[in-house]
Structure 1
Amino acid sequence: MNKPPSMVWLPADHRLMGDHGHQMPFLLLGDKYARAVKVGARAQPVMFPLASADQIDELLALVDGVMLTGSPSNVHPSHFDEPVADPSLPLDAERDQLTLALVRTCVREGVPLLGICRGFQEINVALGGTLYQQVQNVPGRMDHREPKGQPPDVQYAPRHPINLVPDSAFAEWAGGTEVQVNSLHGQGINRLADGLRALAHAPDGQIEAFEVLGARTFAYAVQFHPEWRCWENPFYSAIFEAFGRACRQRRSQRDPVPRATLTAQHDEP
């Protein structure tokens, strides 16, 4: 029997959908994130619908890694002691309630963790950092938002370079200290949380990637979107390959005895 694949937990977005005044709640996961885990990390993406913070320990025991995805919604600014700057922008309090606690548990328990865009921001906030709610309004910062109304190929095209810390994991994955990335975000890091180390910056100084210092396993996050057709981009692909290796390592530690051996032991008189 083939060995079961590593499993990666991708928390869902909570969103009201519908028309004609009949909106209903939906739990959503973007195809591009699940596909990047499946193809790029060679792992099985899984969801736990309606998971709550008090279930984190029992659910983490079933998986080999966690990926926090991007989302149209923003982290609620109350988590870093600010009022909402733009009430028209979407929020997702249910996701915040789960993911901020999930980050802290993954770091504490040594569970492989990859954050992308909103996930990058969630990790920073969960560990005590703060965000700019509107990077485009910060003096000296660029507008990092995608061109609205354009097809995905245009929105996810490379937008600007990032400078990578020499000898970092990201410099190794990129094969150098500068690489082009896409850019599709309004929020961004203001104060980096203690315990995080910035590993990449945009030309305007905005933090684009970090690592969790002292992590026992893969614990990285990026502001850009490497999940977009990661198999076509060597840098993006390398990020998911490294994440997948860490998940497989946890799988081997979590289930070290082959199931065939266990079956044989149970069959003994």
Structure 2
Amino acid sequence: MSTKPVIGINGDYRAPKKDVVPLSWFNTGYSDSVTAAGGLPSLIPPLADDDDLKQFLQTLDGLVLAGCRFDLEPLRLGLDPHPATRAMPTRREDFDRRLCKMAVEMRIPILAIGAGAQTLNVVCGGTLIQHIDEEIPKALHHRDPVETTLRHIIEIEPGTRLDTIYGPGEIRVNSQHHMAVAQVAKPFQVSARAPDGVIEAFEAIDDDWFCVGVQWHPENETASALDMQIFETLLEASQQPEPTVLPMPLKRAA
């Protein structure tokens, strides 16, 4: 019997409150998608020690950087908080930043989703738009608190890895975000945009390293049948020989 690749998924985190214990978990859409693609999902708890985290990552073949219903703390990005911004628990953001930095240094195959993609871009030196509606003229509707099945068109850049996964031209994706990537970090290139110019996906420039960040949620029940292909491609990449680890300039975590 062949051994299935193990794909780590960072857990969401609920801070302790009165009569409420702290909790780490993930949306089963992530684990179901990894399983359907042929892998074994593994929850990564918010480990406090870097040596423990490194040992954990060494047991993985690939990584899904999960999204979050909360946002990165704008003050850590040098931005004044917008009323629409709801910062994620500090322990979650601290851990996710450390996880991204270490995973990039180890060149683990990565699929980053939603806030996971935003965190990855920031850690690698990129920047974010805090509130699309106020920073992008004539912006599309990228989030609706009531309409959870909101979708819009994106256009994939020809010749990119995403082009190989989804095919050329336009596709429709689900959308539930008000923050977005402003400038991609140096290790990455833009691989998809919405018609209003908002960056919807980026990927590693290095062809030998699978690292893709998407703003939509391919694990969600509102995803299209095409979205399973991005998980399948992650699984394929996780079974390839490990690439040579090269130094990569990263932004120091705030």
Q: Confirm or deny a common fold (TM above 0.5).
A: yes
Structure 1 residue 248 corresponds to structure 2 residue 239: yes
* Aligned residue number for residue 190 of structure 2: 198
* Aligned residue number for residue 246 of structure 2: none
| Aligned-partner SS, 2:195 | coil
Tell me, which stretches of 5 or more residues in structure 2 are unaligned? Answer: 243-254
**Residue 228 of structure 1 is aligned with which of 212, 220, 227?**
220
1:133-192: per-residue Cα shift (whole Å, max 9, x none)? Answer: 2112224122311x3234xxxx235x2111111121212222222111111111111222
Identity %: 27
Per residue, is there more helix in 1 or in 2? 1
Deviation of the 1:56 alpha carbon: 2.5
AA partner of residue 156 (structure 1): T
Mapped to 1, the partners of 2:49 and 2:201 lie a distance apart of 26
* Aligned residue number for residue 46 of structure 1: 42
* Aligned residue number for residue 85 of structure 1: 82
Mapped to 1, the partners of 2:235 and 2:76 lie a distance apart of 30
Structure 1 residue 172 corresponds to structure 2 residue 164: yes
Mapped to 2, the partners of 1:45 and 1:200 lie a distance apart of 27
Mapped to 1, the partners of 2:38 and 2:149 lie a distance apart of 23
* Aligned residue number for residue 182 of structure 1: 174
Mapped to 1, the partners of 2:241 and 2:11 lie a distance apart of 23
Deviation of the 1:37 alpha carbon: 1.1
Mapped to 1, the partners of 2:39 and 2:174 lie a distance apart of 24
Checking the alignment, whether the CA contact within 8 Å between 1:127 and 1:193 is kept in structure 2 is yes
* Shift in alpha-carbon separation, 1:184–1:52, aligned structure 2, 3 A: same
Query: How many residues were matched structurally?
Result: 240
* Aligned residue number for residue 103 of structure 1: 100
Checking the alignment, whether the CA contact within 8 Å between 2:73 and 2:87 is kept in structure 1 is no
Structure 1 residue 73 corresponds to structure 2 residue 86: no
Mapped to 2, the partners of 1:65 and 1:156 lie a distance apart of 29
Q: When the two structures are superposed, what TM-score results if normalisation uses the length of structure 2?
A: 0.85
Mapped to 2, the partners of 1:102 and 1:16 lie a distance apart of 19
* Aligned residue number for residue 140 of structure 2: 142
Q: When the two structures are superposed, what TM-score results if normalisation uses the length of structure 1?
A: 0.81
* Shift in alpha-carbon separation, 1:9–1:90, aligned structure 2, 3 A: same
Mapped to 2, the partners of 1:215 and 1:60 lie a distance apart of 22
